[in-house]
Amino acid sequence: MNITGKEITVAVTGASGSSCARRLLAELAGHPDVRIVNGVMSSAALAVAREELGPRDAGMPAMREILSGGASKVRWLEESDVGASIASGSHITHGMAIVPCSTGTLGAIASGATRNLIHRAAEVALKERRPLILGTRESPLSSIHLENMLAVTRAGAVVLPITPAFYSLPRTIDDVVELYVGRVLDSLGLPHRLGKRWGS
């Protein structure tokens, strides 16, 4: 697949990990192989991001600005807009990452219970055999979570939990976030120089 001019979708849902979403959006917005980034943020994600990134009274427009840094490549879509371009398989995108991905979102994707644009865009990615990366964030995991992870993996998604990798000897939270975002970019087929690879 030609990686020039890729269109990538990034969804942010109501789980912990807003800093990972912010770094991912920054990397994609600055990536020479990415033409446009479709951003979708859930109302639950807004509540979590307020706690993790602040300010606590930020509205949706302000938090989108904080997450994307105002990058012109990032085009924000409404969670309720199930008629948006990314809701159709005829609209070509090159992958989708849900970072962070709540277990509620995971469950909706696993069951095919589409209730918003995030669920629908993920459904489209699966049916069109396009990359779908789910940055799940939950601990401990119940059997329901594990079964849903298995279901989406069998359908073609990549479950990429937001977990630290200690072999890189991270010293700050930013180090942990950088390595994780690098793994997401790997799964999207985008070259990068983030983090430290094993054996390098």
Q: 197 lies in a domain? A: no
Backbone angles phi, psi at 108, to 5 degrees: -65, -40
Q: Which residues, listed in sequence order, are joined to residue 139 by a DSSP beta bridge?
A: none
The domain containing residue 146 runs over which residues?
Answer: 6-187
Residue 200 scores a pLDDT above 80? no
What is the DSSP secondary structure assignment for residue 123, as one 8-state letter? Answer: H
pLDDT digits (tens, 9 = 90+) for 103-112: 999 999 999 9
Q: Which of 178, 34, 179, 183 is nearest to 94 (CA)?
A: 34
What is the DSSP secondary structure assignment for residue 28, as one 8-state letter? Answer: H
CB-based contacts of 192: which residues, under 8 Å, 6+ apart? Answer: 27, 31, 182, 185, 186
Q: 200 lies in a domain? A: no
pLDDT digits (tens, 9 = 90+) for 123-157: 999 999 999 999 999 999 999 999 999 999 999 99
Q: 128 lies in a domain? A: yes
pLDDT at 196: 81
The confidence band for 168, taking pLDDT boundaries of 50, 70 and 90, is confident
CA-only gyration radius of the chain, Å: 16
> The whole model's pTM is what?
0.95
The confidence band for 4, taking pLDDT boundaries of 50, 70 and 90, is low
Structurally, the chain folds into a number of domains equal to 1
**Contact of 76 with 118, CB cutoff 8 Å:** no
Q: 133 lies in a domain? A: yes
**Contact of 6 with 20, CB cutoff 8 Å:** no
Q: 196 lies in a domain? A: no
Q: 192 lies in a domain? A: no
The confidence band for 3, taking pLDDT boundaries of 50, 70 and 90, is very low
**Beta strand 6-12 pairing with 34-41:** parallel
Name the strand (E) or helix (H) holding 180.
Answer: helix 173-187
Amino acid 103 reads: T
Q: 98 lies in a domain? A: yes
| CATH number assigned to the domain comprising residue 40 | 3.40.50.1950
What is the DSSP secondary structure assignment for residue 5, as one 8-state letter? Answer: T
Q: 199 lies in a domain? A: no
* Over residues 95-116, mean pLDDT: 97
